[in-house]
Amino acid sequence: MKKLISLCLLVAATSLTAQTVKSKALKLKYTAPEGWNPSEFGGKTSWDESGNNLCKCSGVMFTKQHKDGKMIVLVYPSTISGLDSSKHDMAGILKFVDVEKYDKTKNKNFSFEKKKSYFMDTKTSSKSYEVIKYKTKIEDHYYLIYTWQESMNVMSPNTEKDLFEVVNAIEPL
C-alpha cells in the first residue's frame, strides 16, 4: 500500500513539472514557469500565415491568472522585412504606442532593446495597459516580445519581475 501511494505521488509530481517545448516553427525553446500557460498560434511553414485574434501571424502567448489582472507575455518571430509590419505592433485591438527612449538589457539568452510604453485601444482610441516591448535579433531573424498585465494600474516592480521570468524562460533553438 505504501509503495502504491509513493508511486502515485511520484507520478503526480512528475506530471506537475513544466514541460520544455521545442518549437521548430518559431525557432524557440521554452519551459513555462509554474502557473504560466503557453499557447502557440499561426502557420507551421511561414510566420505570416494564419494566426489568431491577436495577430494574423505566428507566435506564442503565455498567460497567467493574477488577482490584479491576467498577466500576458506575447512573442512574435519576424524577419527584418516584418519588423515594420503594423500587425507586429498589435495584440488584437491593442496597438503599441512607440517611444523613442529605450534601454539595452540582457538575460541569459538574449540582448534586448527594451521600450516601456502603453497600448492604445484602437476601438475606443483610449489609453490602455502599460506594456514593455523587447526586441532582439538572433542570426537572420528577430523576436518582438510584449509583456503586460490587464490592469489599469501602473505596472509594479513585482509584476515586471514576474513577466520577465517568462522572457527568461525563452531560448533560441
Question: Could you state, in order of their start, the residue ranges of all structural domains in the chain?
Answer: 19-172
Arch. (CATH architecture) of 19-172:
Sandwich (2.60)
What rounded mean pLDDT belongs to the chain? 85
Give the pLDDT confidence score for residue 46 in this predicted structure.
72
Q: How confident is the model at residue 127 (pLDDT cuts 50, 70, 90)?
A: very high
Contact 107, 98 (CB under 8 A): no
| 43-66 pLDDT tens trace | 777 777 677 777 888 899 999 999
Q: What is the mean pLDDT of residues 149-168?
A: 92
CB 134, CB 145: distance < 8 Å: yes
Assess whether pLDDT exceeds 70 at residue 6.
no
pLDDT, greater one: 80 or 132: 132
pLDDT of residue 64: 97
The model's pLDDT over 68-122, given as tens digits with 9 standing for 90+, comes to 999 999 999 988 877 777 778 899 999 999 999 999 999 888 999 999 999 999 9
Percentage of the chain beyond pLDDT 70 is 87
Confidence of residue 147 (pLDDT cuts 50, 70, 90): very high
Residue 173's pLDDT is what?
Answer: 86
pTM: 0.86
More confident residue, 6 or 130: 130
Residue 17 binned pLDDT confidence (cut-offs 50, 70, 90): low
The pLDDT of residue 10 is: 36
Question: What pLDDT does residue 2 have?
Answer: 44
